[in-house]
Structures are given as C-alpha cells and as structure tokens.
Amino acid sequence: MTHPSTESPAALRRLDPEDAQLALTRVQEVLHRHEVIENLVHRQAEGGDRADLVENLLQRQHEAELQGFVNSLHPADIAFILESLPKTERQMIWRLVSAAFDADVLLEVSDWVRESLLEAMNRQDIMAATSEMDADELADLAPDLPPDIVTEVQKGLTVEERARLIEAMGYPDDSVGGIMDFEMVRVREDVSLEVVHRYLRRLPELPDHTDQIFVVDRQDKLLGTLSLSALLVNEPEIEVRDVMGTDYLSLSPLDTDSDAANAFERYDLISAPVVDGIGRLIGRVTIGEVVDVIREDSDEQALSRAGMQEEDIFAPVAMALRNRAPWLMLNLCTASIASFVASRFEDTVSTIVMLAFLMSIVAGIGGNSGNQTMTLIIRALAVGRVTGQNLWALIKRELLVTFLVGLMGSIVAAGFSWGISRSLPIALVMMAAMIANMLVGACVGVLVPMTRARFGKDPALGSSVLLTFATDSLGFLIFLGLATIFLI
C-alpha cells in the first residue's frame, strides 16, 4: 500500500480500552453513512455519469474523514477495529492506514485477521513493513508471509540478524523460543557502574520492559543480573560483580510459553533471561509477550470447551462449518444415545408419567456439577498444579465435595418431587439418582481432561460435549433404572 507517512498523535492521547470501542462505533457510523448516501445518490441521480461523479466525491470525502481519524489511533486500537469488521470493510480501512503503522498493526492483530490484511498488500508494501521489524517480530510474521518475501527479507538483514531470525523460526510457536526477544542490554562483571552508565547513555533507547541488565562473560554465559534500581542507588565506582544478583530465574528456549507465563505470575517478573543448554544468554522474555500468551490461552480454552478453534468472526460460512460441525455432529450422536437409553424405559415412563418431568432435572444437575469439577481440573492443569502424587487426593476431594453438595441438593429435589407427585418412593428415587449422577459428573470432569492431557491433547477441547453425553445418558439410565426396580 502506498500511504502518506504521517506522524501519529496517538502518543499524545490518553490510552483507554474504551477508546477502541468508541473508535469502532465511529468508524461503523461513517461506513454506514457512506452506504446510505451512496444508495440515495443512485436512486435520485438522473444520469449514470452524474451518479458516478457524486459517488466518487462522497467516497473521497468519507475516506479522508476515516483516514484522518484512524491514523490518530494507537496501533492496538487500529488492530481492534480491523478485527471487528467484515473482510471487505476491514480491507477498505486497512488501505487507509498509514504505512508508518503497517508493521505495528500486523503484529497486533490476531493470526486469523493478518491473512486477510496481507491479501490487500502488494509485494512492495509487505517489504516496506517487514524491513522495520526485529528478528523476533519477523519470526512471528514469517508463517503468514509468502516464502519468496521471507527469502528477500533475509537478504536485507545483517549476518547476526539473519542468524537470529533462523533461530527464532526454528522453535515451536508455543515455546519460550517462539516468543523470546533478542533485544537486551548485556555488560561484563568486571566493569564499574559508571562504565555501565556511560554505555546506556550512548544507546538511542532502552529495549521495552527493561528492568534489569544481564551480566555475561566473554562467552556470553549468564553470570547474574543487575537491576536498574541497584544501578541507580549505588556509587558509580562500585563494580558490577559487587551488586549484581545471582539468584534469578532463567528459562530454556524449549520451555512452553505457558510455563513462562506461570513463572511470571508466580514471581511477579517483568523480564526473564533465556539461556541455552550450556548457559549462554540467547534472549529474554518480557511481560508484554507473556500477557499475549495468557490472553491467547484463555481464548483458546474458552473455545476448546465448546469444541471450537479460533476463527475470524466474519470468516466465510464454509470455514465456519468446518470449524464447528464436527463437534456438533458428535454432540448430536451423544444426544441420540441419551434418547435411546430413555426409550428403553418406555413402559416405566408410561406407567409413571411424572418421571418424564423429573428426569431432565437429574441430567441437568449432573452436567452442571461435572462442569464445575471439569473447570477446576482444566485450570489446575493449565498452571501445572496437578501431578501424579496429588491426583488421587484431588479425585477423592472432588468426590467428597460432590457427594456433600449432592446430598444437600437432593433433599431439596426430593421435597420438590414429593410436592408435585405426593409419592415418597418417587422422591427417594429422585434423591438417589441425583447423588449418583452428580458423582458420575465429577468422575468424568476429572478423568476426561486428565486423560487428554496425558496423551498430549488439549484437555479443554470438546470436554463439555463428552461431559454432557455421560451425564445425560447415565443420568437417564440411573434414574429410570432405579424407578423400574423400586417403583414398578
């Protein structure tokens, strides 16, 4: 894209999450106004040429308004707007974004939106945007770029930058190596703090989220860390080795990004060094990348529970069907099995019609109880709190809690059942079936995510579908089976 390179006043604005929502509303209003006026012109214009002329004038007016407004926003707010628009409108707004923001916006948007933005860019635009990126940023973008452009971009890098890019691209996306930053400040242990001061003053700026300086030897092996506070409060003639910290947390590039996020949360870190197998400092992870990891993991977990994967909210219908249909078809099959189980007790239900009104309560409360357990287990797995040593204790605790909650709830349910049926046997069957099905839900809520995690699968993916299948089918079987045994 050929955009005017304008200096954004975004740096002067007060950043507020609500600003992005207000900006989106304003952009949508301008787009809607343009559409309404365009249709009105077409209906009222006498000749085709006149209509085209008026339409072109209005289009340029609206584009100028949108361009000035959008380019006054922070790149993160621009990314939010682009993610919230259908593909056609998204690409229209993207063409109005200043070239100075292209790189930042491409890095801010979600993966499923970046593809549509790159479609609207020609080769020169992409080259211009990527030429300003660091090696770790290029590595994030590389999977979405055409291979020939990646090759061309590498030619413009220095030998060191090219090596960093190749190294970063070699790590899995969900690893520490995939999110680490190569920009950091390193010093030797045998220099004074005054030397470090002079070195920092020569830098154009400090890398983002710099809270500590890494102390290395001549082979780049990490020896310790020098906090900025220690640098500022100590006398200039003191050597680095005398004030550096040797008690620090370091990460391996092959650690998962979730492990890094857990470490940052546990130890309140702003940055952490990344070292290879022989202790050489190769990069760092900052709180900025960790926040992105936490948000992405949260989004993926929420979608996985419903058997979905991340997708563009305005994705083509065919793509949405491929994403959603498999688990919905599985859900249909499981619901059919539950109905089949209920149909095997046709005589029981026809004899005691009241059972038809009560069995949905048994299935529903079992599913809700199991969902509570499953949510707890998935969260514990995500933060690494479930181990082989505490698994059995966790299962026993969940069964006990579920039994006690079920006992209290079943008393209420039994009272309700007696109230509408005036039958004590029905109330007792209702009570027993509810407790039993809640225990089933608790067992499934523990075993499904644990089993999937043991085989290296996402513990949340489709878990709610499997839970519903178990509590519905077994709930009907338990309730109607007990009714057949004790009431018929």
Q: Are strands 281-286 and 222-227 parallel, antiparallel or unpaired?
A: unpaired
Q: Are strands 271-275 and 212-216 parallel, antiparallel or unpaired?
A: unpaired
pLDDT tens per residue across span 224-272: 999 999 999 999 999 999 999 999 999 999 999 989 998 998 899 999 9
Indicate the residue type of 238: I
Q: In terms of Cα–Cα distance, which of 62, 68, 76, 61 is closest to 16?
A: 76
pLDDT tier for residue 11 given thresholds of 50, 70 and 90 = very low
Strand partners, 256: 175
- What whole-number distance in Å separates Cα of residue 219 and Cα of residue 215? 11
pLDDT tier for residue 309 given thresholds of 50, 70 and 90 = low
Residue 42 has pLDDT above 70, yes or no: no
Contact between 26 and 69 (Cβ < 8 Å): yes
Indicate the residue type of 131: S
Phi and psi, residue 223, nearest 5°: -105, -30
Q: How far is CA 343 from CA 340, 346, 473, 487, in A?
A: 5, 5, 11, 18
- Average pLDDT for 41-47: 57
pLDDT of residue 9: 41
Q: Which of 58-67, 306-315, 378-387 has the lowest mean pLDDT?
A: 306-315
Render the burial of 84-122: b for 16+ CB within 10 Å, e for the rest: bbebebbbbbbbbbbbbbbbbbbbbbeebbbebbbeebe
Residue 8 has pLDDT above 70, yes or no: no
Which residue has 């770790």 as its token pair? 136
pLDDT tens per residue across span 417-448: 999 988 999 999 999 999 999 999 999 999 88
**Fold entry, domain 16-174:** MgtE N-terminal fold (1.25.60)
pLDDT of residue 220: 94
- What whole-number distance in Å separates Cα of residue 430 and Cα of residue 176? 52
pLDDT tier for residue 5 given thresholds of 50, 70 and 90 = very low
- What whole-number distance in Å separates Cα of residue 376 and Cα of residue 385? 11
pLDDT tens per residue across span 160-215: 888 888 888 889 888 999 999 999 999 999 999 999 999 999 999 999 999 999 99
pLDDT tier for residue 41 given thresholds of 50, 70 and 90 = low
Helix axes 424-454, 391-421, angle to 10 degrees: 150
Residue 427: is it exposed, middle or buried by C-beta count within 10 angstroms (0-12/13-18/19+)?
buried
**Fold entry, domain 186-305:** CBS-domain (3.10.580)
Residue positions counted in the chain:
488
Q: Which of 128-142, 193-207, 266-280, 322-336 has the lowest mean pLDDT?
A: 322-336
Contact between 93 and 82 (Cβ < 8 Å): yes
pLDDT over 90 for what percent of the chain? 43
User: What is residue 3's three-state secondary structure?
Assistant: coil
What lies within 8 Å, CB to CB, of 169 at 6+ separation is 139, 142
**Better-predicted residue by pLDDT, 149 or 302:** 149
What lies within 8 Å, CB to CB, of 9 at 6+ separation is 72
Q: In terms of Cα–Cα distance, which of 369, 358, 330, 336 is closest to 471?
A: 369
pLDDT of residue 52: 60
pLDDT of residue 425: 92
Residue 16 has pLDDT above 80, yes or no: no
Choose from 20-24, 143-147, 191-195 the range with maximum mean pLDDT: 191-195
Domain ranges (residues) in the chain:
16-174, 186-305, 317-487
Tokens of 71: 């380019």
Residue 347: is it exposed, middle or buried by C-beta count within 10 angstroms (0-12/13-18/19+)?
exposed
- What whole-number distance in Å separates Cα of residue 380 and Cα of residue 46? 69
pLDDT of residue 282: 95
Residue 456 has pLDDT above 90, yes or no: no
**Better-predicted residue by pLDDT, 474 or 16:** 474
Residue 369: is it exposed, middle or buried by C-beta count within 10 angstroms (0-12/13-18/19+)?
buried
Identical fold between 186-305 and 317-487: no
Q: In terms of Cα–Cα distance, which of 485, 448, 466, 419 is closest to 477?
A: 485
- Average pLDDT for 373-377: 89
- What whole-number distance in Å separates Cα of residue 167 and Cα of residue 161? 10
Q: In terms of Cα–Cα distance, which of 113, 124, 179, 178 is closest to 149?
A: 124
Q: Which of 53-67, 120-134, 257-271 has the lowest mean pLDDT?
A: 53-67
Residue 369 has pLDDT above 70, yes or no: yes
Mean residue pLDDT across the chain: 85
According to CATH, the superfamily of the domain at 317-487 is SLC41 divalent cation transporters, integral membrane domain (1.10.357.20)
- Average pLDDT for 69-83: 91
pLDDT of residue 338: 87
Q: How far is CA 272 from CA 174, 214, 328, in A?
A: 17, 10, 42
pLDDT tier for residue 389 given thresholds of 50, 70 and 90 = confident
